[in-house]
Structure 1
Amino acid sequence: MDTRQGQGRADGGPRTRVCVVGASGKLGRYMVQHALDRDYEVVGVCREKSVGKLAEFADRITVVAGPTDDREVIGRAVAGCDAVLTVLVPWGVHGYSSGTAQAVLDLAPEGARLVFSCGWHITRDGRDVYSRGFRASVRVVSVLARLVRAIDIDDQVEACRRIFDSDARWTVVRGSDLEEGEGEGLPVWSRHVGDPVLASNITRRTDFALFMVEAVTDDALVHEAPAIVGCRTPSALAHARPPRPHGSQETR
């Protein structure tokens, strides 16, 4: 099912067209709002039963309903898009994350910015340093979730492996623990978990979404897997470098 609305711009100029895959979730809805705040044309993908969660945007976005790992659904949704923002949710044990990622990689227009979300547990080069407690919590969640066939963290790892191997213009944003609340600003990022700047391990969910949308126009993030933390957290304030001209902050 497609729910389509007119998307003309008052001055007749071209608008950036972005697709949010997983638009009905908490992170997805924040991304939709941040994209609309930038006057982007927005296409949202979500499961049929979740379309109602996008009711507040009904007259401002296009909704393509269906499973996000359905190639036909993704193909329709990403057509003509300048960027695709994808929430990599490891639902079930049937390759949902990897199927979603592969569909986006294969079907997004050539040259489109592809921005994916995941957690700190994903590592690109094996140089991330995790605490014993963090590793233990990931193992427990993974085992328990697979026992009840709820989520498959290993499939999210596989999804990111495929992304990292791709020549597309991708960014994988790795989020810390999340909390609700008013936005504090663009999160601070580092290439590796274990950097002292990330020690607070908390980010406002709306700011995570802000970082995802900001990545659309930040070419410095192409082929990067930034691990992020809230810009007002104690560790960010103690260790972050001054903001770069584009707005995000990076530590090496």
Structure 2
Amino acid sequence: MARNRRICIIGISGKLGQYMAEHALARGWEVRGVCRPESVGKLARFGDRITVFPGRTDDAAVIARALQGCDGVLTVLVPWGVDDYASGTARAVLEHAEPKARLVFSCGWHVSRDGKDRYSLKLRAFVAVFGAIARALRFADISDQLRATCMIFDSDRDWTVVRGSDLEEGESQGLPVWSRHVGDPILASNRTRRIDFALFMVEALENDALIREAPAINGRLTPSAIAHARAA
């Protein structure tokens, strides 16, 4: 993607969205963003360097306006509530993005594209317990994020689904390492700086090798990534 082209960040007001905005602006790109009206204030520090479209990220009309003329779309898929929020967001982006736009979505390791991921007992238990409690409290619906990604995987768009490990704050360690499947030893540390998750999302816009891939990422300076580099 050439410099000074236009991208839109769906869910720009969250921590990950704001980091993506910082990376994109540093590269000279025109940045648009969609976030809930009550969250617009979180973006005050960006001033007139970004254009904000207030609205729910599953509101097709808002998404359609925001994506006009955009060469790339970065979407934070969040499973909030029990009203198909994540799948509604994915559907709106897939339906209203420009025909040749690069679409990059974020989710967690629990999403599997082909069923070949190998999950630890701890991760499987966490997803099962948290998922049940969150849905019972009507706080979140993890299964809706699975429906959203299945919709993306079935699309013929130029998409990438970035699957993040456990996140932490801190200074950047550089572009994360990745693998097609959870269970790869390079991912064993299961830790990525949030600022670097955002960096991978932005980098994916320009990396044609990631088109129709679902990379699972891990921090570049984690023990498992360093051990893999030494072995290589």
Amino acid at match of 1:228: I
Q: If the length of structure 2 is used for normalisation, what is the TM-score?
A: 0.97
Shift of 1:160: 0.1
Report the counterpart of residue 103 of structure 1 in structure 2: 92
Amino acid at match of 2:193: R
Contact 1:122-1:160 within 8 A present in 2 as well: yes
Shift of 1:240: 4.0
- After TM superposition, the structure 1 = structure 2 runs for residues 1-252 of structure 1, keeping only pairs within 5 Å, are 15-240=4-229
Amino acid at match of 1:107: H
Contact 1:187-1:230 within 8 A present in 2 as well: yes
| Structure 2 unaligned residues grouped into runs of 5+ | none
Contact 1:20-1:86 within 8 A present in 2 as well: yes
Amino acid at match of 1:181: G
1:68-127 deviation per Cα after TM superposition (whole angstroms, max 9, x unaligned): 000000000111000000000001000000000000000000010000000000000000
Shift of 1:14: 7.1
* CA distance, structure 1, for counterparts of residue 222 and residue 47 of structure 2: 35
Structure 1 segments (4+ residues) deviating >2 Å: none
Report the counterpart of residue 247 of structure 1 in structure 2: none
Q: Against the structure 1 CA distance between its residues 64 and 235, is the aligned structure 2 distance closer, same or farther, given a 3 Å change threshold?
A: same
Contact 1:188-1:240 within 8 A present in 2 as well: no
Aligned-residue CA RMSD (Å): 1.4
| Structure 1 unaligned residues grouped into runs of 5+ | 1-12, 243-250
Secondary structure of 2:220 counterpart:
coil
* CA distance, structure 1, for counterparts of residue 221 and residue 69 of structure 2: 37
Secondary structure of 2:48 counterpart:
coil
Secondary structure of 2:205 counterpart:
helix
* CA distance, structure 1, for counterparts of residue 230 and residue 100 of structure 2: 31
Q: Against the structure 1 CA distance between its residues 104 and 240, is the aligned structure 2 distance closer, same or farther, given a 3 Å change threshold?
A: farther
Contact 2:3-2:29 within 8 A present in 1 as well: no
Shift of 1:16: 1.2
Report the counterpart of residue 245 of structure 1 in structure 2: none
What fraction of aligned residue pairs are identical, expressed as a percent?
A: 66
Secondary structure of 2:49 counterpart:
coil
Shift of 1:52: 0.3
Contact 1:186-1:207 within 8 A present in 2 as well: yes
* CA distance, structure 1, for counterparts of residue 198 and residue 3 of structure 2: 24
Q: If the length of structure 1 is used for normalisation, what is the TM-score?
A: 0.90
